[in-house]
Amino acid sequence: MKKGCPYGTHRVLEPKGVLPQPALKIDNNMEIYDNEILIDVQTLNVDSASFTQIKEQAKGELEEIKRIMKSIVDERGKHQNPVTGSGGMLIGTVEKIGPALEGKTDLKVGDKIATLVSLSLTPLRIDEFLEIRPHVDQVDIKGKAILFESGIYAVLPDDLPENLALSVLDVAGAPAQTAKLVKPGDTVVVIGGTGKSGMLCLYEAKKRAGVTGKVICVGSRDETIARTRKANLADYYIKADATNAVDLMNKVKEITNGEMADIVINTVNIPNTEMSSILLTKDQGIVYFFSMATSFTKAALGAEGVGKDITMIIGNGYTKDHAAISLELMRESQELRNIFEELYA
Kindly report, residue by residue over 264-286, the tens digit of the pLDDT: 999 998 999 999 999 999 999 99
pLDDT for the residue numbered 140: 97
Query: CA-CA distance, 27 to 171, in Å (whole number)?
Result: 27
Question: Which residue type occupies 342?
Answer: E
Question: Which residue type occupies 11?
Answer: R
Average pLDDT in the chain: 95
Secondary element (H or E) of residue 246: helix 245-255
Report which of 68, 209, 69, 167 is spatially closest to residue 126, judged by C-alpha positions: 69
The residue ranking higher by pLDDT, 170 or 295, is: 295
- The mean pLDDT value for 102-129 works out to 95
Q: Domain locations in the chain?
A: 9-156, 173-344
pLDDT for the residue numbered 277: 98
**Tens of pLDDT, residues 179-199:** 999 999 999 999 999 999 999
Entry pTM: 0.84
- The mean pLDDT value for 278-305 works out to 95
Q: Is the pLDDT of residue 51 over 90?
A: yes
pLDDT for the residue numbered 238: 98
pLDDT for the residue numbered 345: 72
Task: Work out the pLDDT band at 317, boundaries 50, 70, 90.
Answer: confident
Task: Work out the pLDDT band at 304, boundaries 50, 70, 90.
Answer: very high
Task: Work out the pLDDT band at 166, boundaries 50, 70, 90.
Answer: confident
Cα dist from 252 to 203, 206, 223, 236, 249, whole Å: 19, 17, 21, 10, 5
- The mean pLDDT value for 280-295 works out to 94
pLDDT for the residue numbered 293: 85
Task: Work out the pLDDT band at 58, boundaries 50, 70, 90.
Answer: very high
Query: CA-CA distance, 242 to 106, in Å (whole number)?
Result: 43
- The mean pLDDT value for 289-294 works out to 89
For the four alpha carbons of 161, 164, 166 and 172, in that order, the dihedral sign comes to negative
pLDDT cut 70: percent of the chain above it: 100
Query: CA-CA distance, 123 to 118, in Å (whole number)?
Result: 10
Task: Work out the pLDDT band at 155, boundaries 50, 70, 90.
Answer: very high
Task: Work out the pLDDT band at 170, boundaries 50, 70, 90.
Answer: confident
**Tens of pLDDT, residues 4-40:** 999 999 999 999 999 999 999 999 999 999 999 999 9
* Cβ contacts of 96 within 8 Å, gap of 6 or more: 32, 37, 38, 109
- The mean pLDDT value for 157-165 works out to 90
Of 102-106, 116-120, 192-196, the one with minimum mean pLDDT is 102-106
pLDDT for the residue numbered 344: 81
Class for the domain spanning 173-344: alpha beta
pLDDT for the residue numbered 108: 95
Query: CA-CA distance, 262 to 281, in Å (whole number)?
Result: 6
Q: Using DSSP bridges, classify how beta strands 138-147 and 124-133 pair: parallel, antiparallel or unpaired.
A: antiparallel
